[in-house]
Amino acid sequence: MDSANSAIKGEKKPVIIDEEILDKEAKELGEYAEKQYKYNALWRPVVGGLLFGLGGAIVVMAAVFGWTYHLLGQGYLTMFFGMLIGFTMLYIGIGMTS
């Protein structure tokens, strides 16, 4: 009984790798990597810093307003979701700047 792979294996042809092709691909990858590095070097710290600042501000506001609502007897829900969103933004900002 022949498997499906046996027919394919019989039809394989040798692949010749040319040095010119490898050099061209390496050059293209190098240019792409340089563009990505320049982009990330500029925007990652900017976006990370903004997220870090906004996340920290949201955490502080959530703590203040959440505690105020708790003292007024209106529950913890605002503080919980504010802290969740704020800390998420804060940690993403830290990750982008480091």
Q: What are the tens digits of pLDDT across the range 63-90?
A: 898 888 888 888 788 888 889 999 999 9
For 60, residues 6+ apart whose C-beta sits below 8 A from its C-beta are 86
Which pair of tokens denotes residue 3? 């498997």
DSSP secondary structure string, 68-84?
HHHHTT--SHHHHHHHH
Q: What are the tens digits of pLDDT across the range 35-56?
A: 888 878 888 889 999 999 999 9
Domain range list for the chain: 18-97
